A = this chain, B = another copy of it.
Amino acid sequence: MSELDRVMLDPQAVETPVGYVDLGRARNNAAKVVEYANVHGLRWRPHVKTHKSLTIARLQIEAGASGLTVATLREAEVMSSVTDDLLLAYPPVGPNKLERLFALPHRVDLKVALDSVDVLAELGGASVATGRELGVLVEQDMGMGRVGLPSPEAVVELAQIAAETPGIRFRGVMFYPGHIRMSEPEQDAHLEEVSGMVADTLHALLAAGLEPEIVSGGSTPTIWRSHEVEGLTEIRPGSCIFYDREGLDVGVADVDDLAYTVLATVVSTAVPGRAVVDAGSKALAKESRGGGGGFGVLLDRPDILVASVSEEHGVLDVSESDWVPRIGERVRIIPNHVCVSVNLQDHLLTIDGGAHSLLSLEGRGRGPWQP
């Protein structure tokens, strides 16, 4: 009997640890974002890094997403079978990546975000060589200090060069505003600052005769306040399809919106006050956080933390609980950060209208995709 047959007959028979997705909730989450975007005249171009799955990407497109955002060439290859509107929100550097980029189906309206004349020049050369025009978004840093140009002037300068580069079409600007988990007053101040920077950049671009067709922003931590940044045409939040402990903490989602948990099994209760499950850093990841600490929390017992993890062990602190875990018992864990947990799974177990299935993660890994 195949693993899928087993799951269909008895989800308890599936091996743990495994990521577990409620497809109905994922659909609801997608519908809510599309509704929000529609109300505010925005398009939603979800980042697929969260799920890396064709099925989930189709669900997003069916819900009304206008296109998709990808970070890797693998994701681009996979997702070009679902949409004709792709943004590679990552500078492609090196001959292999350029080759894969320009080998994407010609029907795909391809945009690349970048922040350097170096990458732009390489893309321009490849565009001319292949005869395929490429759209470019210039990326601006909104204070995260990761990628992106530091000022409106620098954005305009690169946009100008893009507009003049044969084979390249300047399509607009991109930024990421969701980098800091902030209190509400801090977030107010941050969004005001971002709004000011965006306004300055748009003003400077227009003054230079470079009207941006796309102004791409948004993030899950700021999702419901995206409209406060004037001039946006689209938002890219990704983890809002599933949410995670961070999303609950920031307050953009409720526990009833959670569409992803990690199904795990209790394997040891030998140490007093603790119970060990088979989801460790190779299933949940080991991304620490502030607040309550730990590496996850039980869905059905929110007072129980995954207090520590090693590779195949998640240690639950049950010292303050009246729960007496039994070996073999199943638990569902809300990971701190859903994207990195999904990336550690071979596949996901899904439930949809009571039926279980296995979901492939076609965009995982880095090599070329063969459908």
Contacts and interface: CB of A to CB of B under 8 A. Distances in A.
B97 A145 contact: no
Contact of A93 (B49, B139, B265, B308): B265
A278 B367 contact: no
Q: Quick one: copies of this chain in the complex?
A: 2
Interface in A58-85: 71-72
A5 interface: no
Given A146-B308, A285-B285, 13 more contacts: A3-B96, A15-B96, A15-B366, A18-B366, A91-B268, A118-B326, A141-B270, A141-B271, A150-B270, A282-B340, A285-B286, A286-B340, A346-B365
A49 B311 contact: yes
B285 A281 contact: yes
14 contacts: A6-B96, A13-B95, A90-B267, A94-B265, A118-B328, A141-B270, A146-B276, A147-B276, A148-B271, A150-B270, A150-B272, A286-B340, A288-B288, A311-B339
A118 B367 contact: no
Interface string A90-105: 1101111100000000
Interface of A: 3, 6, 13-18, 49, 71-72, 90-91, 93-97, 115-116, 118-119, 139, 141, 145-150, 154, 265-272, 274, 276, 278, 281-282, 285-288, 308, 310-313, 315, 326-328, 339-340, 343-344, 346, 365-367
Contacts of A71: 311-312
A122 B294 CA distance: 31
Given A150-B271, A282-B343, A327 B93 contact: yes
A355 to B, nearest CB: 20
Nearest to A148: B270
A311 B15 CA distance: 27
Nearest to A329: B93
Nearest to A6: B96
Contacts of A328: 93-94, 118
Nearest to A117: B327
A349 B161 CA distance: 37
Contacts of A93: 265-267, 278, 327-328
Instruction: Enumerate the 7 nearest inter-chain pairs by beta-carbon distance, A residue then B residue, closest first.
Output: A115-B270, A118-B327, A147-B268, A346-B365, A15-B96, A91-B267, A71-B312
